[in-house]
Amino acid sequence: MESAHPRHSPVLVKRVSLGGIALILAGLTLLPQGILTRAVPSDPARNLEFATGANSVEYRLASALTAVSLALFVLGVFALYGYLSTTRREGLAFAALVVTVGFLVLFLPITGFAFFVVPAIGSLIQQGNPEMIAVMDQTFKEPFLPIQFLSGITWNIGSILMGLAIWRSGRMWKWSGLLFLLYGVVAIPAFLDQKAFQLVAPILGGLAQITAGISLRRSVMAPDERLPAQPEHHAGLTGSS
Cα(108)–Cα(150) distance, rounded to whole angstroms? 12
Average of per-residue pLDDT across 180-207? 93
Q: Where are the alpha helices (DSSP H) in 37-173?
A: 47-54, 57-84, 90-112, 118-126, 133-139, 145-169
Average of per-residue pLDDT across 81-90? 92
Mean pLDDT check: name the lowest of 29-33, 112-116, 218-222. 218-222
Cα(159)–Cα(99) distance, rounded to whole angstroms? 9
pLDDT digits (tens, 9 = 90+) for 19-42: 999 999 999 999 999 888 887 877
Which pLDDT band, with edges at 50, 70 and 90, does 236 fall under? very low
Sign, CA dihedral 59-64-68-70, equals: positive
Q: Where are the domains of the chain?
A: 10-224
Spell out the residues 6+ positions from residue 185 whose beta carbon is closer than 8 angstroms to its own. 156, 160
pLDDT digits (tens, 9 = 90+) for 34-72: 888 887 877 766 888 889 989 999 999 999 999 999 999
pLDDT at 83: 94
Q: How far are the Cα atoms of 15, 103, 109, 154 from residue 106, in angstroms, in the given order?
A: 26, 5, 7, 10
Greater model confidence, 11 or 57: 57
pLDDT at 44: 67
Cα(181)–Cα(179) distance, rounded to whole angstroms? 5
- φ and ψ at 37, to 5 degrees? -110, 15
Task: Break the chain down into helix, strand, coil percent, rounded to 5.
Answer: 75, 0, 25
92, 156 Cβ separation under 8 angstroms: no
pLDDT at 37: 86
pLDDT at 11: 82
pTM: 0.84
| Helix (H) / strand (E) containing 143 | none
Q: Considering only CA atoms, give the Rg of the chain.
A: 22
* The amino acid at 224: D
Dihedral angle, C-alpha 78, 83, 86, 87, nearest 10 °? -100
Average of per-residue pLDDT across 136-163? 93
pLDDT at 214: 96
